[in-house]
Chains A and B, each alone.
Chain A
Amino acid sequence: MDHWRSDSAPVCRVATEGGLTVKGRVLVVDDDLALSEMLGIVLRNEGLEVSHVADGSGALAAFRETRPDLVLLDVMLPGIDGLEVCRRIRAESGVPIVMLTARTDTIDVVVGLESGADDYVVKPFKPQELIARVRARLRRDNDAEPERLTIGDLAVDVAGHSVKRGEESLNLTPLEFDLLVALARKPWQVFTREVLLEQVWGYRHAGDTRLVNVHVQRLRSKIEKDPERPEIVVTVRGVGYRAGPA
């Protein structure tokens, strides 16, 4: 906590006072000070407001205090580990979480995604790569035209970011919402995982299709009546996913 106060408060001021357009607030949770500072430099260069916390225990309090638009979270943290922090943040907010991981092993990545992360970046990464990931998660047209979609028995209000089944409002994270909207906008189309990676996650080149699999599962667990037999997000074997018949 102390770290975060002493480190990030002045930095935030510099970012805002520097006259740059603030496009979003990013909370960096990482125990490596050099990397944190470097991340701060790179992100602020992009016009983002950055705060920092060095350990898992202080992360949640920092998150509540700063209300960031995006969390950059290191998986390995002293105190509470990154996956647990991820779970706790996800329990109270749908804020985009991008994980920083040193491993590419399937199990680490999948566990990270299943604990609620929207995306991940593998160390060592190039600054552009990180910026692209962060921008993709922050890119939301808030002044979208009023658009109403239906998918299955759900009503989607795109501008209002809400999904309703009858009168019941379903609570989706922005990423899950984007995923649902992408499918709902073209119910006649079968989306391959690669296309979804590009449209929802903003990957220009090949990405990790496990991202799609894990998030489709999460989305189904929220919107399907029986997640084992999905009717809204239907798997097309060997191809990908599509919106179920209304």
Chain B
Amino acid sequence: MSGTPTATTGAGTSPSPTLSGHVRHIGGRAMLGLRAAGRGVVSAARWLLRTWRRSLQFRVVSTTVVLGLVVVSLLGSYLYSEIADGLRRDRVATSEYEARTLTAQAQERWDNTTATTVQELNIIALDLMRSTLTPAGPQPSRYVVMIRGAKNTSPTVLDPLGSGGLGLASVSQELRQAVAADPSRQQTVVNDVLVDGAQVPAVFVGSGVEVPTAGRYDLYFIYPMTQELRTMSLISTAFTLAGLILTVLLGAVAWVVTKQVVSPVRRAAEVAERLASGKLNERMPARGEDDLALLGTSFNAMADSLQAQIRQLEGLSRVQQRFVSDVSHELRTPLTTIRMAGDLIYDARADFEPVMSRSAELLQGELDRFESLLSDLLEISRFDAGAAALELDRVDLRDTVAEVVAAARPLAERRGSTVQVLARGPIEAEVDERRVERILRNLVVNAIEHGDGKPVTIRLRAEDGAVAIVVEDHGVGLRAGEASMVFTRFWRADPARARTTGGTGLGLAIALEDARLHHGWLQAWGEPGVGSRFRLTLPQEAGHSLTSSPLALSPGERP
């Protein structure tokens, strides 16, 4: 059956008018404001992409809808083509049957005729066409064409006849040749035909009839499949509608199902966020025995254990802070009494025997040391408890350095060393001056004490949002590995060396904490016999972080 593909194609493309209409519609709207529409499309695409990334629910629903659409359209088009095929087969079969009957009737009429002239034969042919072959009505279910057979050589030639304005042109050459080759058998072809100005697939059935005197004539019955087309378009509309409804329903089902899964997950996320922000009493509702309840239960168990641990740590920290505060008070009160008593004794030492007098002096000296040790300990435990806070001011660090140097002058004179300050221009920074002064006092006093009476240099420089202060001595220096050790609590440079000053061993550790509190750096460099350098780098604006220091730490380093 050579016509099958044509029919299938014709039926298959039938929904296309709606589709192209839709495209035209969008095009028309876009014409109104092409640019605005373009922007709209871009932002809509962006929104889609963002929602796709962020929402699991959206992803599941849209995937379901797309897959559903694919399945529905595959299924739909399969069913559609099956139905179309069946309809066409039926049409062909009934057409062939009807054509056979009609051909037989026509043959019988010709066989029973006695006419011999062309005029008579033409009249009979016309009558035959009108009364028997062509059905009545404005929309006939078939058309008939009768023309002289291809191999007819009879001198009597009848007029070619065609109903409904269809003529020889409607019949394909192939069909005519097939009928000519075997006139006794029916030939069927499915082909397009132009009926009332519309191209419609139709069943062509051709066969020959023997006309007395005039010889063999071909009789073609043309059955347009208008009815089938209408049925198919109805079916396709129904299919499309059903498919769309099905897809929407699928999407809705997916939405409902994912909502059931996603909303507890979202609730878990919300609760986790609130937990993270410190609201430790937040819990998830966990009802039932399903997986989500399990999620809720394990989540709550996790929150419980977190809360317990945090409470415990908080408790420990509070105990620690209370302890520090209590030690502060409890130790300081007796120390005050001892201090005052010691002072009275010390003031009266001139009246004592030499041994007693010296004892009073030792008592006084060690009391000073005890006091500074206590205050250093309290300071460092304040850092450990996280209770230290900055009191920021914008200061010129040259002034701070000048004060520190002035205060250290008596010590420098005793050690026979000089302190030189090198700075150009104002060195301003937003710092807690009390803490910076404490750091610098520590560095300067250390440099003088370990500087072997050689000059101590202090350099200041501000650059790129950072200030650096380098304190350098030319004394014993630091051995390899000691540069990082100097900030360790109670670490001594050289245990063998006699301790000449009452340092507490906490000075540099406190200085390091002070620098860190400023988001700054405190670093050490040293070489045995050459000297050591301590560099304090601080951001000029409080809270900013450092990337580099304006001054070099070691002689080889480029700042």
Contact = CB atoms under 8 A, between A and B. Distances in A.
Contacts of A126: 339-340, 343
A91 interface: no
A102 B371 CA distance: 13
A35 interface: yes
Interface string A39-53: 101100100000000
Interface in B329-352: 329, 332-341, 343-344
Given A76-B329, A102-B328, A102-B332, A32 B340 contact: no
Contacts of A127: 339-340, 343-344
Interface in A72-107: 76, 100, 102-103, 105-106
Contact of B341 (A38, A125, A128): A38
A161 interface: no
A35 B335 CA distance: 9
Contacts of A125: 336, 339
B337 A35 contact: yes
B328 A103 contact: yes
Contacts of B340: 35, 38-39, 41-42, 126-127, 130
**Max chain A C-beta neighbours (<10 A), residue from B329, B338, B374, B391:** B329
Interface size class of B (residues with CB under 8 A): 10 to 19
A124 B329 contact: no
Contacts, number: 53
A103 B332 CA distance: 9
A124 B344 contact: no
B333 A123 contact: yes
A124 B391 contact: no
A42 B344 contact: yes
Contact of A124 (B325, B371, B387): B371
A113 to B, nearest CB: 16
A148 to B, nearest CB: 39
Consensus secondary structure, chain B interface: helix
Given A102-B328, A106-B391, A123 B344 contact: no
A126 B340 CA distance: 6
A144 interface: no
A32 B328 contact: no
B72 to A, nearest CB: 72
Interface residues of A, number: 21
A103 B333 CA distance: 11
B336 A123 contact: yes
Nearest to A36: B337
A34 interface: yes
A144 B371 CA distance: 42
**Max chain B C-beta neighbours (<10 A), residue from A100, A102, A127:** A102
Interface string A141-173: 000000000000000000000000000000000
Nearest to B325: A103
Contacts of B336: 35, 38, 100, 123-125
A148 B341 CA distance: 45
Contacts of B329: 76, 102-103
B333 A32 contact: yes
A99 B539 CA distance: 38
Given A102-B329, A125-B339, A34 B344 contact: no
A105 B337 CA distance: 22
A38 B332 contact: no
Given A32-B333, A123-B336, A124-B332, A41 B343 contact: no
27 contacts: A32-B333, A35-B333, A35-B336, A38-B336, A38-B340, A39-B340, A42-B340, A45-B344, A76-B329, A102-B328, A102-B332, A102-B333, A106-B391, A123-B333, A123-B335, A123-B336, A124-B332, A124-B335, A124-B336, A124-B338, A124-B371, A124-B374, A125-B336, A125-B339, A126-B339, A127-B339, A127-B340
Given A34-B337, A127-B343, 17 more contacts: A32-B333, A35-B333, A35-B337, A35-B340, A38-B336, A38-B341, A42-B340, A102-B329, A102-B332, A102-B333, A103-B328, A123-B332, A123-B335, A124-B336, A124-B338, A124-B339, A126-B343
